[in-house]
A = this chain, B = another copy of it.
Amino acid sequence: MSAALDRLAVHTITTKPWTLAEAADRYARRGIGGISVWVEAIEGMTATAARRIVDDAGLRVPALVRGGFFCDPSESERNRRIDRNRELIATAAELGAEMLVLVVGATPGTPLDRQRGWVSDGIEALLPEAQAAGVKLAIEPLHPMYAADKSCINRIAEARHICQRLDHASVGVAVDVYHVWWDPDLELEITRLGETRTLFAFHLCDWRVPTRDMLNDRALMGDGCIDLAGITAAVRLAGFDGWDEVEIFSEEHWREDQDQFLDRIVERYRLLESRHG
């Protein structure tokens, strides 16, 4: 049975109460193939030590999460943030992560299109390091409800435009169902990402109805309203053969027994795989 979990990865934030070692152990015991590591999960630890933990558990690392945050009115601050991303690329390489996920940032008061220019410039500046390190950069569009202060890229289309402008094999898009499920252009945009080989990551969770908190009320797959089977089918049809990454921020789920929660994640994932496949 565990073969079907080969392409499943879980983000450490999903089981936030666990240390990296606990998470790696519990994921591996269930046959989960990957662990996407949040920067917060390796604070106070060297990347080498973190890598030893995931290697010893036999896990692979789809992504280091999260870099980006390119947007600030001050140019020197923007440069500082680019430098911070250089450090994260180095960390990702040491960790053996395939990619660095970029939450691009936003700052209130500057037109969003101008901010997207900063994002494009910031990523462009990182290309030499990313290529040399063999770390891909995945732009993650965030839901429009985060447009004020977290991400000036709120649809796949705007992420794709940056990929097209930079036209570099190291730059692509992370599609998280939570952020894009409502987009009338979703299927079309997934197809386009497939055609341009820029579909780098696929993140799973669900949209709770009602959503009680804008940040930490994501649902387990199947507990919300997103057409996960449909989106997963579209992603497969676009030729995506990477990881299915479960990324759930939820105060409610963090309060639960994390072992039981992880069991349900695996169960819902298997159900999803059986539905769309």
Chain A residues near B (Cβ < 8 Å): 108-109, 111-113, 143-145, 147-149, 154-155, 157-158, 181-184, 207, 209-211, 214, 224-225, 227, 230
Contacts and interface: CB of A to CB of B under 8 A. Distances in A.
A148 B184 contact: no
Contacts of A149: 209-210, 225
Contact of A158 (B112, B184, B207): B184
A224 B158 CA distance: 23
The DSSP consensus for interface residues of chain A is loop
Given A145-B145, A148-B225, A225-B148, A182 B154 contact: yes
B214 A147 contact: no
B214 A182 contact: no
A227 B152 CA distance: 14
A108 B144 contact: no
Contacts of A224: 108, 148
Contacts of A184: 112-113, 154-155, 157-158
Given A158-B184, A184-B112, A209-B108, A145 B148 contact: no
